[in-house]
């Protein structure tokens, strides 16, 4: 078999998000986000300091330059620009991101920017968050400010990171008695409308922009060929994956999801032109995050949900129990291109582990190299089948705080000294072995994978 070449301008990248990387949670007029007001799980780091990227990005970007990174995917913290979510823009916030862009420019690194990555301004959450339609206008106003201010410097934008993971989180809370399914569906619908308005605005005012959603999309397997398991897998796929990309890209709710909402009396309330706004927005790209596939088995009739996600007996797992499935990555790319017919850009892929510096200070992370290599190899095979993949971003460029597991779960190509047990440490940066490996991959445009 001859392996395909990666395209000449393939975006070999790496990724962070504002609340996990920047720290400086209240610097220069920033308002609190829901991440700042939430209580982190016991024993894990909060988001006040994180990797201190807010102050140390010049040092980090210099390392990105050494790495040969072609693109850097990061998010803008909404509450740095609008401390209470709406109102007058905080100039210091705009200046900060302008400086970030200038620094990236020095190393010829293309910015790939997420407008909203899990950090809703806390003031908006107090008013009902995404379930309140007023949040649609707040997001659109914030996004217009960003697009107008930074065009044409930023071409690649994602509207919302992992809307489906947020919906899953809200659903778990609802099942535990906090809120209802209707609230979840409504919040989700409002996000669809907000993202669609931003996509249309971008196209009308800044035609160079390539904008789309960034859901977490993965192939779903039935645990067995038992027909009930296969049916459960299709239901799960429709609700976990397709719902999100379908509404944004195809402009419609799929009927499995819609029927599910109807059964529970939880269809969203809509303004008369919502579906026209949604259908009128046409993403340029499908950005997506991929870590692992999911496997489900059917529940008994009468159970609250028709499926249960389970471990896949054919896969190995990370130290944190996540399935590892490079072949599933290729399956996912096939399914996405087949259904949506858009170029793909991977905005996150990586391995979380307990990394420990060896006696000489170097971090040896062969497990991460293996994971990344295997996934890039499958991406190469996918490109060979004619799937237009235009970029790939490793989560994460630098060690940062994992939302639920603090600083002990590391993903970075660059180690950050946070001391033991999430203490502040020296914050010194040390490239890991995976950094040197990725530098070679980029230098050879993937020919060595
Ligand atoms: C994705 C998020 C990232 C990041 C990553 C790893 O869902 O977009 O923000 O957190 O997952 O997840 P975790 O830190 O929980 O291991």
Provide the pLDDT for residue 146.
98
26 or 39: whose pLDDT is higher?
Answer: 26
Exposure letters 127-154 (e unless 16+ CB within 10 A, then b): eebbbbbebbebbbebbebbbeebbeeb
Which atom number of ligand 1 is nearest to the Cα of residue 161? 8
pLDDT digit string (tens) for 114-137?
Answer: 999 999 999 999 999 999 999 999
| Two tokens, residue 387 | 């799937």
Task: Give the pLDDT mean for 16-42.
Answer: 95
C-beta of residue 31 within 8 angstroms of C-beta of residue 83: yes
The secondary structure of residue 253, as a DSSP letter, is: -
Q: Which residues line ligand 1 (CB under 6 A)?
A: 17, 20, 161-162, 165, 216, 289, 348, 352, 395, 402-404, 409
In a domain, 1, yes or no: no
Secondary structure (3-state) at 391: strand
Least confident among 41-45, 56-60, 441-445: 41-45
The secondary structure of residue 16, as a DSSP letter, is: -
Q: Is the pLDDT of residue 420 over 80?
A: no
Name the residue at shortest CA distance from atom 12 of ligand 1.
402
Which atom number of ligand 1 is nearest to the Cα of residue 402? 14
Residues involved in catalysis: 162, 348
| Residue appearing with tokens 């962070």 | 16
> How much distance in Å is there from the Cα of 237 to the middle of ligand 1?
20
Give, for ligand 1, the residue of 403, 409, 422 to mutate: max count of ligand atoms closer than 8 Å to Cβ: 403
Q: How confident is the model at residue 421 (pLDDT cuts 50, 70, 90)?
A: low
In a domain, 313, yes or no: yes
In a domain, 260, yes or no: yes
pLDDT digit string (tens) for 154-184?
Answer: 999 999 999 999 998 888 888 888 888 999 9
Q: Is the pLDDT of residue 363 over 70?
A: yes
- CA 268 vs. chain centroid, Å, equals 25
User: Pairing state of beta strands 323-324 and 71-75?
Assistant: unpaired
For 398, how many CA atoms within 13 A lie in the half-sphere containing its CB? 31
Task: Give the pLDDT mean for 285-312.
Answer: 94
User: Pairing state of beta strands 316-317 and 323-324?
Assistant: antiparallel
CA separation for the pair 397, 63 (Å, rounded): 10
Secondary structure tally for the chain: helices H, strands E: 16, 15
> How much distance in Å is there from the Cα of 403 to the middle of ligand 1?
7
Rounded percentage of the chain residues whose pLDDT exceeds 90:
90
| Two tokens, residue 246 | 């379908």
Structurally, the chain folds into a number of domains equal to 1
Provide the pLDDT for residue 1.
66
CA separation for the pair 300, 290 (Å, rounded): 30
C-beta of residue 20 within 8 angstroms of C-beta of residue 400: yes
In a domain, 4, yes or no: no
CATH number, domain with residue 375: 3.20.20.80
Least confident among 31-45, 186-200, 342-356: 31-45
For 120, how many CA atoms within 13 A lie in the half-sphere containing its CB? 22
User: Pairing state of beta strands 414-416 and 389-395?
Assistant: unpaired
- CA 274 vs. chain centroid, Å, equals 25
In a domain, 448, yes or no: no
In a domain, 149, yes or no: yes
CA separation for the pair 379, 331 (Å, rounded): 10
> How much distance in Å is there from the Cα of 446 to the middle of ligand 1?
25
Give, for ligand 1, the residue of 20, 74, 347, 402 to mutate: max count of ligand atoms closer than 8 Å to Cβ: 402
427 lies in which domain range? 11-443
> How much distance in Å is there from the Cα of 301 to the middle of ligand 1?
33
In a domain, 6, yes or no: no
Omega within 30 of 0 (cis) for the link into 152: yes
In a domain, 3, yes or no: no
CA separation for the pair 302, 335 (Å, rounded): 31
* CA 351 to each of CA 51, 89, 317, 354, 366: distance values in angstroms, whole numbers, following the listed order: 18, 37, 10, 10, 11
> How much distance in Å is there from the Cα of 404 to the middle of ligand 1?
9
CA separation for the pair 74, 397 (Å, rounded): 10
pLDDT digit string (tens) for 216-269?
Answer: 999 999 999 999 999 999 999 999 999 999 999 999 999 999 999 999 899 999
């Amino acid at each position: 078999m001859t392996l395909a070449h990666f395209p000449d301008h393939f975006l070999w990248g790496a990724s962070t998000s504002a609340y996990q990387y920047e720290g400086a949670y209240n610097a220069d007029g920033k308002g609190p986000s829901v991440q700042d007001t939430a209580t982190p799980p016991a024993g894990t780091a909060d988001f006040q300091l994180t990797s201190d990227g807010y102050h140390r990005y010049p040092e980090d970007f210099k390392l990105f330059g050494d790495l040969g990174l072609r693109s850097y995917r990061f998010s803008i913290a909404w509450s740095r620009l609008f401390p209470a979510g709406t109102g007058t823009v905080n100039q210091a916030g705009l200046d900060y991101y302008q400086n970030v862009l200038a620094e990236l420019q020095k190393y010829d690194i293309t910015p790939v920017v997420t407008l909203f990555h899990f950090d809703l301004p806390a003031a908006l959450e107090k008013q009902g968050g995404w379930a309140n339609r007023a949040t649609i206008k707040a997001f659109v106003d914030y996004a217009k400010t960003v697009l107008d201010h930074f065009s044409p410097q930023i071409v690649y934008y994602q509207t919302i990171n992992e809307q489906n993971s947020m919906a899953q989180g809200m659903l778990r809370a609802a099942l535990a008695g906090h809120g209802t399914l209707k609230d979840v569906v409504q919040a989700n619908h409002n996000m669809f409308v907000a993202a669609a308005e931003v996509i249309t605005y971008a196209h009308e005012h800044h035609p160079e922009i390539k904008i789309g959603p960034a859901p977490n999309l993965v192939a779903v397997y039935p645990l067995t060929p038992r027909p009930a398991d296969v049916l459960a897998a299709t239901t799960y796929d429709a609700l976990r994956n397709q719902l999100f990309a379908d509404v944004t890209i195809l402009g419609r709710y799929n009927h499995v999801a819609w029927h599910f909402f109807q059964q529970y009396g939880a269809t969203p309330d809509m303004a008369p032109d919502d579906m026209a706004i949604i259908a009128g927005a046409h993403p340029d790209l499908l950005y997506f995050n991929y870590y692992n596939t999911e496997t489900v088995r059917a529940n008994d009739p009468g159970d609250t949900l028709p499926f249960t996600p389970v471990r896949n007996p054919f896969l190995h797992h990370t130290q944190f129990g996540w399935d590892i499935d490079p072949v599933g990555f290729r399956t996912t790319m096939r399914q996405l291109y087949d259904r949506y017919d858009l170029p793909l850009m991977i905005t996150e892929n990586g391995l979380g582990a307990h990394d420990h510096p060896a006696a000489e200070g170097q971090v040896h992370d062969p497990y991460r190299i293996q994971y990344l290599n295997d996934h890039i190899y499958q991406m190469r095979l996918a490109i060979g089948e004619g799937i237009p993949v235009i970029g790939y971003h490793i989560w994460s460029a630098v060690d940062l705080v994992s939302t639920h597991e603090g600083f002990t779960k590391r993903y970075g190509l660059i180690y950050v000294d946070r001391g033991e047990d999430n203490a502040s440490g020296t914050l010194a940066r040390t490239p890991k072995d995976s950094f040197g490996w990725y530098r070679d991959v980029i230098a050879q445009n993937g020919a060595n994978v």
